[in-house]
A = this chain, B = another copy of it.
Amino acid sequence: MRSKGFEGMTCSVAGVMGALGDRWGMLIMRDLFLGLSRYDDFRRSSGITNATLSDRLKALEEQDLITRQRYQTRPERYEYLLTEKGRDVGLVLLSMMQVGSQWNLPGLAGPPLIMVDGNSGHKVKVALVDTETGQQVSPQDVRVALGPGADDLTRWRSAGRLINPELSES
């Protein structure tokens, strides 16, 4: 069953997890990101059951992460494609791919897949970048500031990472 109760949280991390539904939802998104689009292919790729797959496809469509398009009549057959929103969520999957490979979390001989730039062939990595200078930022230098969606719980929870916490009090 899909996890409930994450949709109402004042947290973007919880928001993403609520939209994806669960880890099966993420594996379907991974498959779509890699180019798979058909029901039977999702089944083959992850070994997901019919019931779970049907449910998660419906949920991902409701979340506007994927769209369903007919590619055949008699019998009617559909394929699934990422929306723009769904493609943006791909960044989360690429981050997982990178961290999982970096620490060999699946416990393999090496990374199954390596990210490359299709134009240059150079390796690509997910990194933190200063939006003004374009310079890379070290993860330990990242702080957070309160945004317009912050509530009291957000403020309390993030106090240890807040930049200028005294300013945020005002």
Query: Given A10-B106, A30-B11, do A125 and B124 touch, yes or no (CB 8 Å)?
Result: no
When all copies of this chain in the complex are counted, the total is 2
Separation of A141 and B108 alpha carbons in the complex (Å):
27
Asked if A73 is an interface residue, CB under 8 A from chain B, the answer is no
B contact residues around A26 at 8 Å (CB): 13, 17
B contact residues around A14 at 8 Å (CB): 23, 27, 100, 106
Q: What is the distance, in angstroms, from A60's C-beta to the closest C-beta of chain B? A: 13
Asked if A132 is an interface residue, CB under 8 A from chain B, the answer is yes
Separation of A150 and B133 alpha carbons in the complex (Å):
37
Asked whether, in the complex, the Cβ of B106 is within 8 Å of the Cβ of A9, the reply is: yes
Asked whether, in the complex, the Cβ of B136 is within 8 Å of the Cβ of A129, the reply is: yes
Asked whether, in the complex, the Cβ of A132 is within 8 Å of the Cβ of B142, the reply is: no
B contact residues around A85 at 8 Å (CB): 103
- By beta carbon, the residue of chain B nearest A129 is B127
Separation of A107 and B10 alpha carbons in the complex (Å):
8
Asked whether, in the complex, the Cβ of A154 is within 8 Å of the Cβ of B112, the reply is: yes
B contact residues around A70 at 8 Å (CB): none
Map CB proximity to B onto A100-128 as digits: 1 under 8 Å, 0 otherwise: 11111111111111111111111111111
**Which A-B residue pairs are the 6 nearest by beta carbons?**
A35-B160, A12-B100, A15-B105, A110-B148, A108-B149, A15-B106
Which of A's residues lie within 8 Å of B, judged by CB?
3, 6-7, 9-19, 22-23, 26-27, 30-31, 33-36, 44-46, 85, 87-134, 136-137, 139-151, 153-154, 156-161, 163
